[in-house]
Amino acid sequence: MSFSTLRVLAVLAVVKAGLAAEPNDWVNVDYVLKHVGDGATAQAQNTIVSKAGSTAQEGPWTVLPKAGIKPPSGDIHDYLSWAPYHWPNCNWCGKGSQQIANPNGTRPDNGEDNGYSPYEDQDPYEDDNGSAIQGRSNVHQSPHSDYGFHRGMRRVRRSILGHYEVRDIDVPVPIIDDPPASVPVPPPSVPGTKTSHAPTSTKGQAPAATAAPAQNASKPKNSGKDSKCTPSPTKSLAPSATWTTCPYVVRDGQVNPDVRNLPGSQAAQNMPQSVLFNTLAYAFQKSSANSKNVAKFIDAFFLTSSTGMNPNMNFGQQVRGPGADHQKGTFTGPLDMRALVKIVNSIQILKALKSPDWTTARDQAFMKWMKTYVNWLKTSDIGKELAGKANNHFSFYVSQLSAAQIYIGDTDGAAKTVKDYFNNQFKDQIAQSGEQPFEAVRTRPYHYRAFNLEAVITNAKIADQLGFDVWTSKSKYGATIQTAVDYAMKQDPDGEEVSDLIAHVAAVAAAYGDPKGKYKAFLQKNKSNYQSQSFWFYDQTDALPNSPAAASKHKRDAGDALTQGTNDTMVGAEGMVASMEGIIPFECPTVFANDAEKQVEIEDGLFVTCDQLAPYYKLPVLSDM
């Protein structure tokens, strides 16, 4: 069957269902140029071409506000998103006559909403169904917080100030009316077993919450000096007034549906994905329609004076509430812009192809934008706070910063960013067993393991593009990226999505080889049509020239190995040993500064201690699959 025939069949097979986020990724530029029409990845290339067309119909995208909702700065070009797990807890004082107009959506999203979630798929905020995550968090919370999981730690105050300007609009404001119970502390699971949900004690409980007034006046509350109730207004309020009047509390894992009223987070994922698809389609077909799409989408999102985004994330994942401290973003905000990696990757490919649509003027304009953004990532209060984290947020920060540095021509800086990560934070991210303690401690461990791996593998691919190998880099406990993927493959999803891990298994097969055929078996079992997925084009050994598999003199193409059978000459960087001998002693991750009781923030308002993570580092090393 000819390549063109396969392409037609793939186009017919793709059903347009809107844009769903794909994992962050980097595709080797030279590989793209050399492997157009490669038969081993023909089905994947067909899929990419089809998705280039279907996703382009959704564009262009911008971060401009909808329904009159403006950032606290009042500048509509500033990116704005709301922290997805935070819910208003008005707790009104006194009888008052306050009412909230049109108080729709008063309960947490139960997962039945078929609308778009800006935190779907590879995003850590995708789960709208709290039932799947109850009783699985190992973090603890303070009863003294007015708006969320702040567990006895003072928030870092930032210097970004501004006003909050909204129009009186009819935006449904969900109000919580039943506080979560104490957060249980489950023991870590042994690979191949389900996570235990047996609760133990925690340090605190969620702050008390009562229903905010809807059509009727609020219930009387104690307004004494020790009361933490919210003073009741004397007139009815628009729903938007809740954002600055009521404190917000965390319902971990349950997405507040009103975050969907803001376009930024959705656009920040969908636009780069369409840009990458259209760039690759241009490489495959040399159709100017595809390259023009790329230019149009980047112009609208970043460069056009009327629609372009300012080069900062000052208001990303804002936690709403009263006071100036709630009129700014959080360190989690830059995560929304993680797909910037795909933008840089796409432009590098267009430049290599000498596309006439990526003009000098456009390149210079985006260069100016990116230089300002790199400076913001490195010097802003939010960027500096993020640079001190130890979990997936920092892993994605490295992806974003190193890619941006590549674009502005600072390849030495990009290499340093990636090397510093693998020489520091990465060392604490993977236990000897392959477990990722900073991710396993969360409410949805299967997802969070895969989510961090998404960033780690992207960082390794960027390093590979820059000419050096980090695939063989090891944590303090002798574990590599391969060790982490092998461990994740053995876990029971326990209601979570196996699909989160699929692309990472293909990447590891390409980077390390598949001598026992275990990666092929996993893919066939969980995604039988994996060869038609877009990642199958990206995740080939030829796309990773500095990987262990590529370095093998007798290597065969990873695609052939998975398609035709096992290949005993392909070897990984290391193997897991069925032995309790040689266990490397545990030590607290560097971020704790030798203080086992120190609380480290892993999400806005979520804190863990070294003692809570320790059991995950001490899991036994089991035999390979």
pLDDT band at 159 (very low <50, low <70, confident <90, very high): very low
The torsion angles phi and psi of 100, rounded to 5 degrees, stand at -105, 125
Name the strand (E) or helix (H) holding 560. helix 558-564
> 607 has which bridge partners?
140, 601
558 or 205: which carries more pLDDT confidence? 558
Neighbours of 594 (CB within 10 A): 9
Question: What are the b/e assignments for 223-260, b being 16+ CB within 10 Å?
Answer: eeeeeebbebeeeebbbbbbbbbbbbbbbbbbbbbbbb
Residue 395 has pLDDT above 80, yes or no: yes
pLDDT at 55: 98
- Cα separation values, 616 from 80, 390, 426, 496, Å: 36, 15, 16, 20
Tokens, residue 596: 């086992």
Pick the range with the lowest mean pLDDT from 88-97, 126-135, 524-533. Answer: 126-135
Q: What confidence category does residue 595 fall into, taking pLDDT thresholds of 50, 70 and 90? A: confident
Closest by Cα among 152, 137, 146 to 188: 137
Higher pLDDT, 186 or 112: 186
Higher pLDDT, 211 or 440: 440
Query: Distance between CA atoms of 167 and 70, rounded to whole angstroms?
Result: 9
* Stretch among 425-429, 478-482, 535-539, 604-608 having the lowest mean pLDDT: 604-608
CB count within 10 Å of CB 85 equals 29
Strand, helix or coil for residue 217: coil
**What mean pLDDT value characterizes the chain?**
79
How large is the average pLDDT for residues 11-32?
70
Question: What distance in Å separates the CA atoms of residue 171 and residue 105, rounded to the nearest whole number?
Answer: 10
Task: Of 217-231, 335-349, 507-521, 545-559, give the lowest mean pLDDT range.
Answer: 217-231
Domain ranges of the chain: 85-107+123-255, 387-531+558-625
Tell me what pLDDT residue 91 has. Answer: 76
Q: What is the pLDDT of residues 115-141, one digit of tens each?
A: 333 444 444 444 444 433 344 555 644
Report pLDDT for 3: 44
Q: How confident is the model at residue 20, as a pLDDT?
A: 55
Nearest to 612 by CA among 187, 190, 196: 187
Euclidean distance between CA atoms 609 and 396, whole angstroms: 22
Which helix (H) or strand (E) segment holds residue 577: the answer is none
Question: Look-up: residue for tokens 């037609």?
Answer: 8
The band of 503, judged by pLDDT with boundaries at 50, 70 and 90, is very high
The dihedrals phi and psi of 417, each to the nearest 5 degrees, come to -60, -45
What is the C-alpha end-to-end distance of the chain, expressed in Å? 36
Q: Which residue has the higher pLDDT, 255 or 590?
A: 590
Digit-coded pLDDT (tens) for 28-87: 999 999 999 999 999 999 999 999 999 999 999 999 988 789 999 999 999 999 988 888
Residue 186: the pLDDT is 57
Q: How far is CA 262 from the centre of its chain?
A: 18
Higher per-residue confidence, 245 vs 217: 245
pLDDT grade for 170, boundaries at 50, 70 and 90: very low
CA 388 – CA 450 distance, rounded (Å): 22
Nearest to 274 by CA among 549, 128, 55, 519: 55
What is the per-residue pLDDT across 435-461, written as a single tens digit (0 to 9) for each?
Answer: 999 999 998 999 999 999 999 999 999
Quick: pLDDT tens for 93-116. Answer: 754 444 443 333 334 443 333 333
Question: Between these two residues, 370 and 106, which has the higher pLDDT value?
Answer: 370
Partners of residue 92 on adjacent β-strands:
230
CA 612 – CA 71 distance, rounded (Å):
37
Strand-strand pairing, 80-82 and 315-318: parallel
CATH architecture for segment(s) 387-531+558-625: Alpha/alpha barrel (1.50)
pLDDT value of position 580: 45
Maximum CA extent, the chain: 79
Does the structure show a pLDDT above 70 at 428?
Answer: yes
* CA separation for the pair 140, 274 (Å, rounded): 39
Q: How many CB atoms lie under 10 A from the CB of residue 375? A: 13
Q: What is the pLDDT of residue 100?
A: 41
Q: How far apart are CA 349 and CA 599, in angstroms?
A: 43
For residues 47 and 41, is the Cβ–Cβ distance under 8 A?
no
| Nearest to 143, CA basis, from 135, 151, 131 | 151
Residue 21: predicted pLDDT: 65
Ranges assigned E (strand) in 201-251: 248-250
Share of the chain above pLDDT 90, in %: 58
Of 222 and 542, the structure prediction assigns the larger pLDDT to: 542
Please calculate the CA angle 404-465-284 and round it to the nearest 5 degrees.
Answer: 95
Higher-pLDDT residue of 175, 436: 436
Q: Give the tokens for residue 372.
A: 């300002």
The mean pLDDT of 298-312, rounded to a whole number, is 98
Look at the pTM and tell me if it is higher than 0.85.
no
Q: Which amino acid is at 451?
A: F
What is the C-alpha R_g of the chain? 24
